[in-house]
Amino acid sequence: MTGTGAGHHRPDGTRSSPRVPAGRGHGRPAQLPSRLAALCERLPQDRIRALEDLLTRLTGPDDPLLGRFTVAQSAAGLSRQLEEMTQAWRAEAPDLPGAGLALVLATVRALPRPQPVQTVVSGPLSPAIPVRLTSGVALEVIRSADAALLIASFAAYGAEDVVAEIAAAAGRGVEVDLLLEESTHAAAAFSALPAEVRIWHRTEAGAGVLHAKLIAADRHTAFLGSANLTDRALGDNIELGVVVRDLKVVEPLVEHFRWLIGPANDVMRRV
């Protein structure tokens, strides 16, 4: 029987083991391990578990369940990654059951792993690299704050989903600081937020502008990029950013902006 992961019957009645990935031709390394590693690197823990659950139900790379799951993915580039994983599985280990791949994912998930920098874009999407959309990432980072949220933007307009998410954060007790450029009237976009949300402007109007774009949740996650908090920047403009989850990078970054709003330093004033 093939395609079930049971291996093949030998003439003496015993079964051979399912084939596992091996390099093919002139020492070419197997692609399946790297495809699985890339999925583990990209997906959060809950999404990896969901993929594991799917894989345990698959008989092989041509199982229709996998095809339907792949087509249903809306995250930019994820369907392509799954297709590449499936192609490598079919080429290198077609007799390996999905449960074998699920075990690999579970093993990687159980190990401590560095949090990679994640690419974020607005505007047209290409299949070149796995990316996430600015609008969704901004909301996700705001939502992940437990105690403190620090946001800097040169301009702000519309962005109702972002404003609503900031209000929700303040409602659950998160301390919110918004550092905004006064000359763009960015503060007007947040006029509906509760009074406990602190808004800050530069103290010296002629000493340059606040041009930074940052969303920092507590001290664990920072979203840095070119996009302002406007509808066009979050969705239509060609913008680029990264999400950083390395505490060694995020903590001093947050400390710097906390220093900027420190009253003794006379850099920012509360509006």
> In one letter, which amino acid is 163?
V
Q: How far is CA 42 from the centre of its chain?
A: 7
Examine the domain organization and report whether 66 and 143 are in the same domain: no
In this structure, of 107-111, 143-147, 155-159, the range with the lowest mean pLDDT score is 107-111
Q: Encode pLDDT of 9-51 as tens digits.
A: 445 555 555 555 554 444 567 899 999 988 887 887 888 899 9
Average of per-residue pLDDT across 217-246: 95
Residue 96: what pLDDT?
A: 93
Instruction: Please give the structure tokens belonging to residue 118.
Output: 């994640």
- What letter would DSSP give residue 149? E
Give the integer Cα–Cα distance in Å for 242 and 214. Answer: 10
102 and 155 both lie in a single domain: no
Work out how many domains the chain is built from and give that number. Answer: 2
- Are 236 and 132 within one domain? yes
Do 130 and 259 fall within a single domain? yes
Contact 55, 105 (CB under 8 A): yes
Residues 132 and 264 in one domain: yes
- What span, in angstroms and rounded, lies between the C-alpha atoms of 221 and 144? 8
- Kind and range of the H or E run holding 133: strand 132-133
Range of the domain at 209: 118-270
3-state helix, strand, coil in the chain (%, to 5): 40, 20, 40
Rg (Cα) of the chain, in Å, rounded? 24
Over the stretch 117-155, which tens digit does the pLDDT of each residue have? 889 999 998 887 777 899 999 999 999 999 999 999 999
pLDDT confidence of 8, banded at 50, 70, 90? Answer: very low
Instruction: Assess contact for 102 and 36: CB atoms under 8 A.
Output: no
3-state secondary structure 238-256: CEEEEEECCHHHHHHHHHH
Q: What is the pLDDT of residue 74?
A: 82
pLDDT bin (cut points 50, 70, 90) of residue 77 is: confident
DSSP label at residue 144 = T
pTM of the model: 0.61
Same domain, 104 and 137: no
